[in-house]
Structure formats: C-alpha cells, structure tokens
C-alpha cells in the first residue's frame, strides 16, 4: 500500500487568483472550473469522494488547494486516484 503522502510536495501557501470577469477562482497554471477543473482530494492530493472534501487538486498542474480559503498548499503530480 502506498504512503498517504506519496507524490506530495508542500508549497508555500498562496491564495489563488479570483477572475472577476469569469467569476471563477483560477489556479496558478491558468486552469479553472470550466477548463480541466479540480477534483476533491485529501490534503496530500490523493483523490477522494467530493462529499465533504476540504481540499481539491488541479487536474492540469497537480497543485493541491485548500477549498475554503482558496489557498494552494502543495502539489502532487502522481496522486493515488483510487476509484475516482
């Protein structure tokens, strides 16, 4: 079984940019909800059920985002996708 932290690298906390015209939060890589979007994840970027998830992972660059604060906290390029 893989470690919970496999593939995860913490980054300095940084708030996402809010795009007022699009009315979306935009990842540092330019991805946003209507592009590749984000998937619910653990704080280490491994994908989980979206119900009650507190973190999500950018599908374009792998950054892990704390949802309630829209803050980028790390990156995981090789997440455990489980069944999601």
Residues in contact with Zn ion by CB under 5 A are 27, 29, 31, 58, 60-61, 63
Q: How far is the CB of 75 from Zn ion (least distance, A)?
A: 9
Q: What is the 3-state secondary structure (H, E, C) of 13-60?
A: EEECEEECCCCEEECCCCCCCCCCCEEEECCCCCECCCCCCCEEEECC
3 vs 9, beta carbon nearer Zn ion: 9
Please state, in angstroms and rounded to a whole number, the distance separating the CA atoms of residues 63 and 76: 6
42 vs 63, beta carbon nearer Zn ion: 63
Q: How far is the CB of 28 from Zn ion (least distance, A)?
A: 6
3 vs 81, beta carbon nearer Zn ion: 81
């Amino acid at each position: 079984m893989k470690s919970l932290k496999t593939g995860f690298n913490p980054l300095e906390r940084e708030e996402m940019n809010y795009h007022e015209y699009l009315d979306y939060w935009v990842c540092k890589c330019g991805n946003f909800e209507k592009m590749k979007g984000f998937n619910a994840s653990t704080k280490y970027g491994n994908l989980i059920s979206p119900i009650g998830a507190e973190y999500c992972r950018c599908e374009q660059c792998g950054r892990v985002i704390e949802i309630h604060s829209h803050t980028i906290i790390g990156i995981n390029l090789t997440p455990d996708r489980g069944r999601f």
